[in-house]
Structure 1
Amino acid sequence: MVKLGYKASAEQFGPRQLLEFGVLAEQAGFDSVMVSDHFQPWKHTDGHAPYSFAWLGALGERTSRITIGTSVLTPTFRYHPSVVAQAVATLGVLFPGRVLLGVGTGESLNEVPATAMEWPEYRERLGRFREAVDLIEKLWREDFVTYEGEYYQTSNATIYDKPDAPLPVYLAAGGPRMARYAGRTAQGMICTSGKGEELYRDSLLPALVEGAVKASRDPRDIERMIEVKVSFDTDHERALSDTRNWAALGLPAESKVGVEDPREMERLADSLTTEEAAKRWIVSSDADEHVEMIRRYVDLGFTHLVFHAPGDDQARFMELYAERVLPRLRDLTPGPLPAPASD
């Protein structure tokens, strides 16, 4: 059985309104609520960027069942890894069995404005990321940790309030290198939809399996989470036009590199047509068609689908999804994992 999650769009809604949506998601039958950790949103006009740890604490208190976590947080620049370890450990104590940490290497849009740093090359970002994850997990397992890495150091650091067992860490993977790393070390892998089936089938999932096998792990024990971008409404034109709220996702990757001002990102996104803005989304007004398009990701082997809807009326989306989509998705069984990627 697949898990079905709701993506809380922290860049689109203020923290109070977003909190109500998180509560509604549990009532609608979703299994998880995941939130991004952005310092700045993808657009300036009507943009938002609440602090994820504070918001997750409020959500945990208002709910009782759902898994909550970040999708994703960067533990390397705005935060020292020990602060991330402490914050997530506190959430884990408050809401046992319900918390996960999703992490990635980051976007300059979030890290540069908050720190005035020079955005480093990917090699350094990856090196920092690996050290940060290692240190976070060590702080959850051990006391009085003295860590001497290339980028991070601690001296007899101890987190006094932490769960009895380390919390699950999910790694965001946009390519095979991170997918292999997730297979070797993580409890889950996170990726996003709409990038072409061959990326998942021929690259990410085989690399995940390869990493797990080389680390003598069973890849079936690693949760495969994918954030599925869906715009579903009984009015097809409304479903299509809703995607304009997230038009920045339709920009080519090269046009976003080095853009650290939400006003400039918004200007670039406004130049796209509605059809270009919608290209990363599953846009549909027919439930049968919609479920079949989502089924592709389950057949590929994904086990946890987190749905990101772009419209302003999130309550309407959840009502429609609870009635017409979620019950049918629960009957699906994830497909078998592929063979390991070859060297």
Structure 2
Amino acid sequence: MNPAPLKLGYKASSEQFGPTELLNYAVLAETVGLDSVWISDHFQPWRHTGGHAPFSLAWLGALGARTSRVLIGTSVLTPTFRYHPSIVAQAFATLGAMFPGRVALGAGTGESLNEVPASGMAWPEQKERTARFKEAVDLIRRLWREEQLTYEGTFYRTVNATIYDRPELPVPIYIAAAGPVMAKFAGEHGDGFICTSGKSWDLYTQTLLPSLHTGIGNTPRAFDRMIEIKLSFDTDRERALQDTRFWGALALRPEEKLNIEDPLEMERLADALPVERAASRWIVSNDPDETVQRVGKYVELGFNHLVFHAPGPDQGRFLKLFGEQLAPRLRATFG
């Protein structure tokens, strides 16, 4: 059973669209009645040809100014390498002060595609990435609540650091997880949880959600269970299928894309996949009732915040179809 009222969101794909076009789509998402907008934070996209990578924090400021209601945030940002945690704390405090109650920090341990090209660093093992992330979340929270913080961590330090412009309402931190350690940490220390659809069903039922629930424990508190639903929906099913080609990299196995930081190489590997494999991570449909039924399986698992990522080049078409044919059905069934 879903633990909270159903929320519907839009994933603004910064890897696929330039900042102005993407901003217009995000404003349309509010217009058609969605509840949230989340932008990915990439330094480099998944593919070179047709790829984009606008700066998410600047873009969120523009989005906040152009909208009035939707929750806005990153899905996801890495507060450990390109950004020092204190800069992330300052940025989201500013956004929260400007748009009170409408800003969330979605964060995760990161990918080499974004961090290595920008810094020339050696990409560390998962154990270090996780340790850095946990320390970064602690530092960000302390900077939001303490004056002149001197912090002596394993990876990060501050000396008499103060965030001067703080939001009146707290900025929630949503933590992304793809395995049990981070899922448990999200339940223990997050205000929300982020994962993505289209993976092995056992991953959700036997690993992520049990670990998340262990972390949350038995103390009642507000907690958002968010999942990015990869949905290619169109009145023309063949068009919906072909639209997934741009995102073929998502269908690559972890070992196929391990430590690849070059978008040209990622693009080459993705384009070699047949369209059926490129579409394997997506719900592909032209039938609204079938789509609601397939999306509903995630609601039945307990996810209450569904953020929809559409792969096609015409996001305006998708959003209008979603607002007309899918959102009313989803809310009537699960809302």
Report the TM-score, using the length of structure 1 for normalisation.
0.95
The whole-number CA distance in structure 2 between the counterparts of 1:97 and 1:191 is 23
Q: Distance in 2 between matches of 1:176 and 1:331?
A: 33
* 2:332 aligned counterpart, secondary structure: coil
Is 1:250 the counterpart of 2:251? The answer is: yes
Cα distance in 2 between the residues matched to 1:8 and 1:249: 16
Structure-2 residue corresponding to 1:160: 164
Deviations 1:254-289, CA, capped at 9 Å, x for gaps: 111110000000000011000000000000000110
Q: CA deviation at 1:333?
A: 3.9
What is residue 290 of structure 2 aligned with on the other side?
Answer: 289
Q: Do the aligned residues in 2 keep the contact of 1:226 with 1:306 (CA within 8 Å)?
A: yes
Q: Identify unmatched segments of 5+ residues in structure 1.
A: 335-343
1:53 aligned partner: 57
Deviation at 1:92, TM superposition (A): 0.2
Q: Distance in 2 between matches of 1:217 and 1:188?
A: 15
Residue type at the aligned position of 2:314: D
How far residue 222 of structure 1 moved from its aligned partner, in angstroms, is 1.6
Alpha-carbon distance, 1:202 to partner: 1.6
Where 1:227 maps in the other structure, the secondary structure is strand
**What amino acid does structure 2 have at the position aligned with 1:264?**
E
Displaced runs of 4+ in structure 1, greater than 3 A? none
How far did residue 196 of structure 1 move?
2.0
Contact 1:240 1:274 in 2 (8 A): yes
Q: Give, in whole Å, the separation in 1 of the partners of 2:332 and 2:304.
A: 12
2:6 aligns with one of 2, 10, 29: 2
Q: Structure 1 residues 55-64 or 202-211, which shifts more?
A: 202-211
Q: What secondary structure sits across from 2:194 in the alignment?
A: strand
Which amino acid letter does the alignment assign opposite residue 244 of structure 1?
A: R
Q: Is the Cα contact below 8 Å between 1:137 and 1:166 reproduced in 2?
A: no
Please tell me whether residue 122 in structure 1 is matched to residue 126 in structure 2: yes
| Alignment length (residue pairs) | 331
Identity %: 65
The alpha carbon displacement at 1:221 in A equals 2.5
Query: Aligned partners of 2:154, 2:264: CA distance in 1, in Å?
Result: 35
Q: What residue number does 1:72 align with?
A: 76
| Equivalent residue letter for 2:68 | S
- Once the two structures are superposed, the pairs formed by residues 81-92 of structure 1 within 5 Å of their partners are 81-92=85-96
The whole-number CA distance in structure 2 between the counterparts of 1:171 and 1:318 is 26
CA distance in 2, matches of 1:73, 1:332: 32
Within 5 A, what are the aligned runs for 1:1-343?
1-213=5-217, 217-218=219-220, 221-333=222-334
Displacement of 1:318 in angstroms is 0.6
Q: Which amino acid is 1:274 matched to?
A: V
Cα distance in 2, alignment partners of residues 256 and 72 from structure 1: 19
Q: Deviations over 1:289-339 (max 9, x none)?
A: 0110000000000010000000000000011111110011113448xxxxx
Whether the aligned pair in 1 keeps the contact of 2:74 and 2:107 (CA below 8 Å) is yes
RMSD: 1.0
Conserved in 2, the CA contact under 8 Å of 1:248 and 1:269? yes
| CA offsets 1:45-69 (integer angstroms, 9 cap, x no match) | 0100000000000000000000000
**Contact 1:2 1:332 (8 Å CA) reproduced:** no
Equivalent-residue separation in structure 1 for 2:149 and 2:329 (angstroms): 48
Contact 1:194 1:229 in 2 (8 A): yes
Distance 1:222 1:206 in 2: 15
SS state at 2:73 partner: strand
Quote the Cα distance in structure 2 between the aligned partners of 1:126 and 1:36. Answer: 20
Measured after TM superposition, the shift of residue 164 of structure 1 is 2.6
Once the 2 structures are TM-superposed, how far is the Cα of residue 13 of structure 1 from its aligned partner? 0.2
3-state secondary structure, aligned to 1:191:
strand
The answer (yes or no) to whether the contact 1:141–1:165 under 8 Å persists in 2 is: no
Contact 2:100 2:169 in 1 (8 A): no
In the TM superposition, residue 203 of structure 1 has moved relative to its aligned partner by 1.3
Alpha-carbon distance change, 322 to 165 in structure 1, aligned in 2, over 3 angstroms: closer
Deviation at 1:165, TM superposition (A): 4.1
Q: Which residue identity lines up with residue 313 of structure 2 in the other structure?
A: D
TM-score, normalisation: structure 2: 0.97
Aligned partners of 1:141 and 1:166 also within 8 Å: no
Could you tell me which runs of 5 or more consecutive residues in structure 2 were left unpaired when the two chains were aligned: none
8 Å CA contact retained: 1:89, 1:140: yes
How far apart, in 2, do the equivalents of 1:305 and 1:18 lie? 19
Distance in 2 (CA, whole Å) between partners of 1:288 and 1:166 is 38
2:264 partner SS:
helix
CA contact 1:3–1:304 (8 Å) conserved in 2: yes
Deviations 1:67-115 (A, max 9, x none): 0000000000000000000001100001000000000000000000000
Q: Is the 8 A contact 1:184 1:217 kept in 2?
A: no
